[in-house]
Amino acid sequence: GAGVSQTPSNKVTEKGKYVELRCDPISGHTALYWYRQSLGQGPEFLIYFQGTGAADDSGLPNDRFFAVRPEGSVSTLKIQRTERGDSAVYLCASSRAVGVNTGELFFGEGSRLTVL
């Protein structure tokens, strides 16, 4: 596609439920990132993939969060036993590769998660 696509755009769930958020990066981009943005804050790094493997998952807040990218393209962020504090906009981004000259991250529109 022309840009990074994220679904759903909005998700309302109840505390304790399981949620999956999907990201379809720009075709050909090998690097994929997940960030979380709370209201009035800057994006907070969660995890990034280089190809199929999670190269750095140090930003995942706890073991309720997990992400996969099985074929090196589409990625899914999975959140178990959701808590109200998980409410935020989850942003996915992709880039051509990782390295000093690869520059920009292309962000999707985000998935707004609300946990009631």
Instruction: List contacts with other proteins (CB under 8 A).
Output: 31, 33, 35, 41-45, 48, 50, 55-56, 58-59, 91, 95, 98-110
Nearer to other proteins, 25 or 110 (CB): 110
Q: For residues 25 and 75, is the Cβ–Cβ distance under 8 A?
A: yes
Q: For residues 48 and 56, is the Cβ–Cβ distance under 8 A?
A: yes
Nearer to other proteins, 102 or 114 (CB): 102
Nearer to other proteins, 14 or 21 (CB): 21
Q: How far is the CB of 14 from other proteins (least distance, A)?
A: 25
Q: Which residues contact 15 (CB under 8 A, 6 or more apart)?
A: 82, 83, 84, 115, 116
